[in-house]
Amino acid sequence: MSGADYRAAHAEAARFRYPDSEVLINRAGLTDQAQLDAFERAQVARKLRTLKPIDPTNYTAFKAAHLHLFGDIFDWAGQERTYTTGRGAASFARAEFITGEMEKRFAAIKADAGLLRPDPDTFAARAAEHIAEVNAIHPFL
């Protein structure tokens, strides 16, 4: 990423955080990360009770589930990330590639016969791979 691209991504990321903070802007107005983490855990636990089953092979349904779980916490819930970021030295998918990469991943999930096997070890291995890939793409903030 060039210096200009990095600065643009940093500026875009800053739009979602409180000034001079790494804390994401949230509907509760919490500016302390530990308080936000506790609030998020409680809210998601509550919303999990009302989450309807979704088609696990459908990216649109995945985004809707994210909106359901996090919509009371963040204005951007269920919407794709708009800037390039990462954790440590590892970067997540560039923002412009998120939709395509997620569509490919969900097509792979749909085609993965290993997920339909009753053998728990096979299912766990296949599911773990897909979960790791979705995390590497990291479609949401």
d(CA 28, CA 11): 23
Count Cβ atoms below 10 Å from residue 2 Cβ, excluding itself.
7
Q: Which two tokens stand for residue 35?
A: 């308080």
SS3 (DSSP) at 90: strand
What pLDDT does 65 receive? 97
- Single-letter code of the amino acid located at 67: L
Angle formed by the axes of helices 98-111 and 120-137, nearest 10°: 170
Domains of the chain: 3-137 (1.10.3290.10)
DSSP structure class, residue 113: G
pLDDT by 10s per residue, the chain, length 141: 566 767 777 788 889 999 999 999 999 999 999 999 999 999 999 999 999 999 989 999 999 999 999 999 999 999 999 998 888 888 899 999 999 999 999 999 999 988 887 789 999 999 999 999 999 999 998
pTM: 0.88
